[in-house]
């Protein structure tokens, strides 16, 4: 493993699983705490450059050093590394006092105040500062020593408490740092550590939506009920640009969307989850670079709504997950289990959707039930595909009965595509394209290769894994959007361009349909396994991460989402 960043010491002491996710798999999410901490860091750096001072209470194990002490006007930033220690990092501030150099590290939080000592790697550490902070600061001190700077102590400044804590680099603390480094090297070469059980640390961790500590522990039967600590919705949204001749530019920390008529809309980058461009829409190189740098993808679609491709940044460091993806998907027995699970979930969701309408004959519902049961017992993937095909024929024959517009319902004669020749099929194809785009983005965000699947055949240009995983969600999201858009009057017969060869939505119809789709993706629903409410967009990512846990061996089975 390459040299460890100093920050990794703190992350490991806080939670070994957090370290693995962030530094081994390369996964990271911003939170309010991380954003505020970064902002405070920048403000503090600006004050130091200007030589400004502030009054700060200083405490140490011997008690208060002084009532107040000015922040030193002499401070410097150092970038240090040492091969023997295996560490590298930037020291934001180093005080030079005589012939002694003391690292100073600022923290966003408050310092501990309950007086209890911390036990790390079998050694007792000071109760005045959080253990991870002490280890990180001592790592800075050891780097200073290794590079010829005398250093026996340093300071931690807790902005939340406005206190400056002196940390002596004792033999015990130095030994803890060396043990932490050794442990990090060991777990970096092995599987991801298990999640903490019912730990208060999880509620403040920015990687909770990735780690899924309570969800994993519930499926492993270690807890009886998960805490509701995953945000129900993503604060960011998808930008759809359909005005032909439009342009997406970068303006500061915002995207500027310009129409050919000169109208402009400005969207802060923090509110952007992705960008979807239809037809002749341009995105500048600067905007594309910025989007990719911050993990936002840009999808390119034709005017008719066919997905051409996506532009995104380099894939995550999680190479091991993609290696496992290939290995597991080449195992026929595991492929069969996964294929049966997703198709059984799809057939069950189709039956539930039709049953809830109250307009479908019992015979059709019984036939779908038999397809699902047969699929769950299938001995070969070809049999699974057969049950899926039979279920699809039954489902789409009865689909028009749930639509309240007779003109649109009567025009549909089963599922038709490439191209669709009636309005309902045109909307279904469009909805499936939008869902596929979201699935591709979610697969890439988790660390999967969206092109390597286990059920759909692997072909050039086909996002096989994204197609696999979207099967249970077709009816829950795409089909539901079509029915709701028609039954609420958002989409009418006037929303389409009709021709003998194909049917497409008008510009106004496309805008209305995109609105309906996003409303569905943001809709809060109760997860049947975890019993808390999440948006469908959040559920998609959660389900894909659970598949990753299965491939990594943390979970014994993968059960796709089935609505009740």
- 254-258 and 264-268 beta bridge pairing: antiparallel
* Phi, psi at 120, each rounded to 5°: -130, 125
Q: What is the reported pLDDT for 544?
A: 95
Rg (C-alpha) for the chain, rounded Å, is 28
Q: What is the mean pLDDT of residues 379-390?
A: 93
Q: What is the reported pLDDT for 373?
A: 93
262 φ/ψ sector (left φ>0, alpha ψ -120 to 50, else beta): left
Strand ranges in 233-321 using DSSP code E only, listed in sequence order: 237-241, 247-251, 254-258, 264-268, 272-278, 282-283, 297-301, 307-311
Tracing tokens 């795409």 back to the chain, one arrives at 478
Output b/e per residue, 124-152; b: 16+ Cβ within 10 A. Answer: ebbbbbbbbbbbbbbbbbbbbbbeebebe
Question: Residue 448 in contact with residue 321, Cβ under 8 Å?
Answer: yes
pLDDT tier, 124 (very low <50, low <70, confident <90, very high otherwise): very high
Among the residue ranges 17-31, 58-72, 256-270, 496-510, the one predicted with the least confidence is: 58-72
pLDDT in tens, 165-174: 999 999 999 9
What tokens appear for 297 in the block?
């993808």
pLDDT in tens, 101-112: 999 999 988 999
Among the residue ranges 153-157, 210-214, 338-342, 560-564, the one predicted with the least confidence is: 560-564
Q: How many CB atoms lie within 10 A of CB 553?
A: 11
Q: How far apart are the first and last CA of the chain?
A: 47
Who's near 217: CB < 8 A, 6+ residues apart? Answer: 195, 197, 198, 223, 226
pLDDT at 177 over 50: yes
Q: What is the mean pLDDT of residues 184-193?
A: 89
**Which alpha helices (H) appear in 64-170, and where do they start and end?**
131-146
Question: Residue 210 in contact with residue 318, Cβ under 8 Å?
Answer: no
Q: What is the mean pLDDT of residues 179-204?
A: 91
Tell me the pLDDT of the chain averaged across its residues.
86
pLDDT tier, 176 (very low <50, low <70, confident <90, very high otherwise): very high
Output b/e per residue, 498-515; b: 16+ Cβ within 10 A. Answer: eeeebbbbeeebbbbbbe
Which H helix or E strand runs over 504? strand 503-505
Tracing tokens 């599922």 back to the chain, one arrives at 415
Residue 55 DSSP SS3: strand
| Helix, strand and coil percent figures for the chain, each rounded to 5 | 45, 20, 35
What tokens appear for 178 in the block?
């060396």
- Sort 165 into a burial class: Cβ within 10 Å, 0-12 / 13-18 / 19+: buried
353 φ/ψ sector (left φ>0, alpha ψ -120 to 50, else beta): alpha
pLDDT tier, 49 (very low <50, low <70, confident <90, very high otherwise): low
Question: Residue 260 in contact with residue 244, Cβ under 8 Å?
Answer: yes
Output b/e per residue, 428-467; b: 16+ Cβ within 10 A. Answer: bbbbbbbbbbbbbbbbbbbbbbbbbbbbbeeeeeebbbbb
Strand ranges in 98-193 using DSSP code E only, listed in sequence order: 100-107, 118-120, 123-125, 153-158, 163-168
Strand partners, 267: 255
Q: What is the reported pLDDT for 357?
A: 78
Q: What is the reported pLDDT for 32?
A: 44
Who's near 190: CB < 8 A, 6+ residues apart? Answer: none
pLDDT in tens, 306-360: 888 888 877 666 788 899 999 999 999 999 999 999 999 999 999 999 988 777 7
Q: What is the reported pLDDT for 340?
A: 95
- What is the pTM assigned to this prediction? 0.84
Distance (Å, whole) CA 136 – CA 182: 14
Distance (Å, whole) CA 134 – CA 128: 10
pLDDT in tens, 420-459: 888 999 999 999 999 999 999 899 888 899 999 999 988 8
118 φ/ψ sector (left φ>0, alpha ψ -120 to 50, else beta): beta
pLDDT tier, 72 (very low <50, low <70, confident <90, very high otherwise): very low
pLDDT at 138 over 80: yes
What tokens appear for 51 in the block?
């030589």
pLDDT tier, 63 (very low <50, low <70, confident <90, very high otherwise): low
Q: What is the reported pLDDT for 74?
A: 42
Distance (Å, whole) CA 493 – CA 485: 12
pLDDT tier, 36 (very low <50, low <70, confident <90, very high otherwise): very low
pLDDT at 33 over 80: no
């Amino acid at each position: 493993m390459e040299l460890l960043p100093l920050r990794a010491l703190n992350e490991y002491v806080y939670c070994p699983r957090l370290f693995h996710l962030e530094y081994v798999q390369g996964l990271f999410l911003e939170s309010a705490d991380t954003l505020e901490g970064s902002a405070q860091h920048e403000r503090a750096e600006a004050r130091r450059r200007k030589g400004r001072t502030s009054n700060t209470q200083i405490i140490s194990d011997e008690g208060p050093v002084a009532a107040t002490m000015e922040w030193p006007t002499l401070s410097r930033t150092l970038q240090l590394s040492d091969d023997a220690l295996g560490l590298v990092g930037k020291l934001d501030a180093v005080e030079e006092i005589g012939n002694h150099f003391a690292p100073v590290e600022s923290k966003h939080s408050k310092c501990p105040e309950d007086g209890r000592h911390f036990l790390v790697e079998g050694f007792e550490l000071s109760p005045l500062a959080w253990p991870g902070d002490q280890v990180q600061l001592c790592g800075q001190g050891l780097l200073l020593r290794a590079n010829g700077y005398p250093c026996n102590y340093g300071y931690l400044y807790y902005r939340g408490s406005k206190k400056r804590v002196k940390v002596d680099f004792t033999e015990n603390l130095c030994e803890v740092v060396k043990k932490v480094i050794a442990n990090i090297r060991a777990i970096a070469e092995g599987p991801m550590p298990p999640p903490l059980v019912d730990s208060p640390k999880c509620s403040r961790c920015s990687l909770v939506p990735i780690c899924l500590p309570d969800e994993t522990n519930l499926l492993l039967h270690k807890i009886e009920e998960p805490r509701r600590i995953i945000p129900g919705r993503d604060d960011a949204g998808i930008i759809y640009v359909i005005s032909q001749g439009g342009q997406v530019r970068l303006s500061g920390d915002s995207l500027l969307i310009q129409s050919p008529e000169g109208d402009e809309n400005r969207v802060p980058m923090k509110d952007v989850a992705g960008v979807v461009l239809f037809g002749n829409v341009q995105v500048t190189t600067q905007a594309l670079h910025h989007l990719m740098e911050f993990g936002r993808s840009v999808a390119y679609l034709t005017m008719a709504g066919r997905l051409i491709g996506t532009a995104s940044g380099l894939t995550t460091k999680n190479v091991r997950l993609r290696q496992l993806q290939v290995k597991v998907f080449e195992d026929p027995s595991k492929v069969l289990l996964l294929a049966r699970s997703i198709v059984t979930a799809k057939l069950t969701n189709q039956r539930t959707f039709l049953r809830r309408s109250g307009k479908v004959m019992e015979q059709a519902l019984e036939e779908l039930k038999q397809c699902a049961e047969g699929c769950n017992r299938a001995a070969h993937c070809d049999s699974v595909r057969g049950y899926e095909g039979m279920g699809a024929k039954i489902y789409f024959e009865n689909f028009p009965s749930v639509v309240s517009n007779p003109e649109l319902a009567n025009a549909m004669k089963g599922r038709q595509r490439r191209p669709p020749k009636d309005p309902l099929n045109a909307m279904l194809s469009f909805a499936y394209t939008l869902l596929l785009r979201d699935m591709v983005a979610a697969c890439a965000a988790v660390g999967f290769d969206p092109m390597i699947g286990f059920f759909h055949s692997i072909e050039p240009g086909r996002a096989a894994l994204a197609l696999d995983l979207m099967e249970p969600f077709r009816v829950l999201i795409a089909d539901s959007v079509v029915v709701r858009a028609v039954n609420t009057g958002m989409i009418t017969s006037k929303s389409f361009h009709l021709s003998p060869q194909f049917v497409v939505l008008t510009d106004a119809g496309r805008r209305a349909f995109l609105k309906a789709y996003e409303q569905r993706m943001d809709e809060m629903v109760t997860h049947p396994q975890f019993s808390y409410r999440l948006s469908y967009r959040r559920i998609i990512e959660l389900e894909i991460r659970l598949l990753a846990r299965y491939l990594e061996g943390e979970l014994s089975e993968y059960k796709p989402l089935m609505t009740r």
